[in-house]
Amino acid sequence: MMSGSGNSSGAASTAGADGRHDDDAALTEFLSSLMDYTPTIPDELVEHYLGRSGFNCPDLRLTRLVAVATQKFISDIASDALQHSKARVAAPIKDNKSKQPKDKRLVLTMEDLSKALREYGVNLKHPEYFADSPLTGTDPPTREE
Amino acid sequence: MTYGGGDAAREPQLDSQSTLKPRISTTTNQYGHAVSRISVTQILEATGFEHSYRRPIDALADVLLRYISHVGKLSVSYANMSGRIQCNVFDVILALEEIASVHGFAGQSDPNHSLSSSGVVLDLWRVVGKEREVPFAGSIARFPVTRSRQAETSQDTENEVEWGHIPDWLPSFPDPSTYINNSVSNESSVPRKQMERPHFSFRKFFSVNGSDGFAPIGHTNVERENEIVQRNPYLVPPLPHRERQVSDMTIPSERKAVSVFETFAPVIEASGGEIVEERGVISNKRPAVRFRIGVGTKSMSKMLSLRDTGMKEDLWTVKEEEMDSKKRRAEMILKESMEKPNELAQL
C-alpha cells in the first residue's frame, strides 16, 4: 500500500528521500487518525457502493477516507446553499406594503441547491409546476353573453 | 430539523401517495437511498440548516451515492492503469484530485507534487481534526445480506465423484445409466433407480393410430428395438431397386378441357370433415396426388377422445350441417369465379 507509486520520481537526493519519508509518515498518521474519527456516512453504505463500482480493497481506512471525502463534498455543497439562502433572506424587500416580515428561517430549497450544485458540475433542474391535465394553465373558454 | 412535505410555494396540493415521488432511486437502491438520506439530513443540520424540503434532500442523497460510485470508479481505473486490481491509497488520492480539479486545490499547478501531502489530503485532515464529529444516527448492518444456501443433499451426491475443475454450484450429473446405452443390459446386475414415468404417455397417444415409434426410456432391449422397427413402417430399411413393381402414374392430358368444378371437387369433399375414412379399394392405377385441405381447426386429440367415449354419432350430425353450409359457400365462390374469370385476385 505504501509502495509510493504515486510519489514524484524526481530528486533522488537524501533531502528528497527525507521529504518523501515525512510525507509518507504524515499520510500514515492521517490514515490512523481516520480510525478514531467516525464519519457521518456509515461504512457499510460506502463499502456497498464502492463494491458496486469495482473497488476492491479490504482495508477499512480507505473506506473511511472515501467516506470522509464524501462528507466533505456534501457539506461544501450545503454551505454554498446556505450562503445562497442567507443572501435571499438578506435581500431588501421590494414590496414595502407587506406587513409580514421576511421569513428568517433557513430552509433548503431546490433553487438554492441547484445554484450550489451548478458550481460543482451537477445540473439539477426542478420543474416549476406539475400539471394534472394538458389544459391546466390555459385560458378558459370565454362565455358568450 | 423539520422535514417539509414539498415545495409549498408553487406546487398544487397533492396527496403524499401521488406519483410525484422522485424516481432517483430504483427498487434495488431503495435501502441505500434511505440510509444516505439520513446521512444527508445530519450533514445539513451540522452545516446550519434548520429546515428543508423533501426534494432537495432526495437530490443530495442521490448526489452522495453518485459521488461514492464515481470515486470508486476512478480509483479502480487508476489501479488498472498501474497494472493492479486492488486499489491503494494513492489511487484514491488521485481520484479525489481529479474530482477536485474542477474547483481547484492547493498544489494543483505543480505536476510533481507529492500525493501524500496533496491539497486534497490536507483538506480532509482538516475535516477530521477540526470539525465536530457527527456519527451516523443508529447502526446499520452490512448489506446486501447474502442468504446462506444449504448444500443439496440428495441421493445423487452420494455417488458423485469430486471433480476439481467443476464448481459446486453447478447441478450434479445425471445417473450414468440414463445416457449410457448398454446393449447387454441385465436388470438384475446393477440396481437402478426407479425412473419417473411422465404423466403424458406418448405410447398411449400414438397407439390409436397403430404406430409404435416412441418407446419409453430406460428399457432398451435389442429384441424390443427390432420389434419396434418392424412395426413402424418409417423405420423399415429401404427396398432394393426393382424389387417391387410400381405402376405408372396416370397424368391427365393437358389438352383435355378441365372444368373448374371438377378440379375443385376434392376441396368440396374435404370441407366436409378432417377424418376421412379410408376406403378399402386398392386399384392398380395410382391416382394423381391430391392435397387434402382441412377447413376445421379442431385438434387430433379432441377427435380421438370423442371417438373413444362413443359420441361419434353426435359429432357427425353436427358435422353434416357444417358440411352443407360449407358446400354451399364453396359453390357460390366457384360460380362467382366462373362468371368473372378475369377478376381472380383472391386465388
Nearest Cα to Cα of residue A107 among A125, A127, A80, A82? A82
Residue whose grid cell is 507509486:
A5
Alpha-carbon distances, residue B25 vs A67, A87, A144 (angstroms):
20, 32, 50
pLDDT at position B277 is 43
Mean pLDDT for chain B? Answer: 72
* Helices assigned H by DSSP within A91-125: 110-118
Q: Is the pLDDT of residue A105 over 60?
A: yes
- A115 contacts in chain B (CB < 8 Å): none
Q: In which residue are the cell numbers 459521488 written?
A: B67
Lowest-confidence range among B46-60, B61-75, B187-201? B187-201
A 10 A CB-CB count for B149 gives 7
Residue in B56, B89, B114 closest to A8 by CB: B114
pLDDT in tens, A45-98: 999 999 999 998 889 999 999 999 999 999 999 999 999 999 988 876 565 555
SS3 content of chain A, % helix, strand, coil (to 5): 50, 0, 50
Q: What single-letter amino acid sits at A84?
A: H
What residues of chain A lie within 8 A of the CB of B40, using their CB?
74
- Closest-CA residue of B relative to A7 is B114
Q: Which residue has the higher pLDDT, A16 or B140?
A: B140
Question: Cβ separation of A41 and B125 shorter than 8 Å?
Answer: no
**Distance between CA atoms of residues B44 and B57, nearest Å:** 9
DSSP symbols for A39-94: -SS-HHHHHHHHHHTT-----HHHHHHHHHHHHHHHHHHHHHHHHHHHHHHHSPPS
For residues A2 and A24, the answer to whether their CB atoms sit within 8 Å is yes
pLDDT > 90: percent of chain B: 18
Max mean pLDDT among A10-14, A108-112, B305-309 falls in A108-112
**Residue-level pLDDT at B39:** 94
How many Cβ contacts (< 8 angstroms) between chains A and B? 221
Min Cα distance B124 → chain A (Å) is: 7
The CA–CA distances, whole Å, from A100 to A92, A96, A103, A132, B4 equal 13, 10, 8, 32, 21
CA-wise closest residue to B70 among B39, B92, B101, B44: B92
Partner residue facing A70 (CB), from B68, B75, B87: B68
Residue of chain A with shortest Cα separation from B32: A45
Q: What pLDDT shows up at residue B199?
A: 63
B143–A106 CB contact, under 8 Å: no
Q: How far is residue B47's CA from residue B198's CA, in Å, rounded to a whole number? A: 70
Give the lowest-confidence range in A84-88, B93-97, B168-172: B168-172
- Least confident range from A32-46, B111-125, B135-149: namely B135-149
Q: How far is CA B202 from the centre of its chain?
A: 26
Residue B96 C-alpha, separation from nearest chain A C-alpha, in angstroms: 8
Mutation target among B89, B113, B123 for the A interface, most CBs of A within 10 A: B89
**Residue in A closest to B120 by C-alpha:** A69
C-alpha dihedral sign at A77, A80, A85, A86: positive
Question: Which of A45, A69, A105 minimises the CB distance to B124?
Answer: A69
**b (16+ CB within 10 A) / e for B30-49:** eebbebbbbbbbbbbebbeb
Rounded average pLDDT over B95-118: 86
User: Is B306's pLDDT higher than 60?
Assistant: no
Contact A52 B90 (CB under 8 A): no
Does the distance separating the beta carbons of B117 and A38 come in below 8 Å? no
pLDDT tens for each residue of B15-63: 444 444 554 445 668 899 999 999 999 999 999 998 999 999 999 999 9
Chain B interface test: which of A21, A61, A107 (most B C-beta within 10 Å) = A107
pTM of this prediction? 0.53
- What integer best gives the mean pLDDT of chain A? 80
Write the CB contacts of B271 (distance below 8 Å, at least 6 apart in sequence).
B293, B295, B323, B326, B327, B330
Contact A106 B48 (CB under 8 A): yes
> Cβ–Cβ of A117/B63 closer than 8 Å?
yes
pLDDT at B218: 54
Read off the pLDDT of residues B254-274 as tens digits, 9 standing for 90 and up: 655 556 666 776 776 766 544
Q: Rounded mean pLDDT of B102-125?
A: 85
C-alpha cell at B249: 402414374
